[in-house]
């Protein structure tokens, strides 16, 4: 465990979102979430996106699937996961 380990706030249907992913993408998701949780600044890995609903960061899991997230609090070290899935689902 590092000094800056982050916790995740996940949507209620996160498990269902993950189960819809192909197995290789699920493995990538695990690696990406570990990378984010152990980073001093998880925002540096994603690309900033702005929509009519607000701003978030998107991180590719492969050519089709991605993870959308933001940092809720740097002080409390909380990462909010919005969605994980294919491009159309996440955006």
List the CATH number of the domain containing 55: 3.30.2310.20
Label residue 43 by pLDDT band (50, 70, 90): very high
Domain total for the chain? 1
Q: Indicate whether 24 belongs to any domain.
A: yes
Secondary structure (3-state) at 17? helix
Residue 13's CB: how many other CB atoms inside 10 A? 11
- What is the structure's pLDDT at 56? 95
Q: Report DSSP state, residue 61.
A: S
Contact 68, 82 (CB under 8 A): yes
In this model, does residue 3 exceed pLDDT 80?
A: no
Going by the DSSP 8-state scheme, the letter that residue 63 receives in this structure is S
Structural domain range at position 83: 7-90
pLDDT computed for residue 4 by the predictor: 64
Specify if 26 maps to a domain.
yes
Residue 15 pLDDT grade (very low, low, confident, very high; cuts 50, 70, 90): very high
Residue 63 lies in a domain: yes
The average pLDDT across 68-90 equals 94
């Amino acid at each position: 465990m590092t000094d800056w380990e982050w916790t995740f706030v996940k949507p209620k249907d996160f498990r269902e979102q993950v189960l819809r992913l192909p197995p290789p993408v699920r493995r990538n998701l695990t690696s990406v979430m570990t990378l984010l949780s152990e980073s001093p600044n998880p925002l540096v890995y994603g690309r900033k996106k702005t929509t009519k609903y607000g701003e978030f960061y998107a991180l590719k899991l492969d050519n089709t699937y991605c993870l959308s997230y933001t940092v809720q609090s740097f002080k409390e070290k909380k990462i909010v996961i919005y969605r994980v899935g294919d491009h159309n689902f996440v955006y």
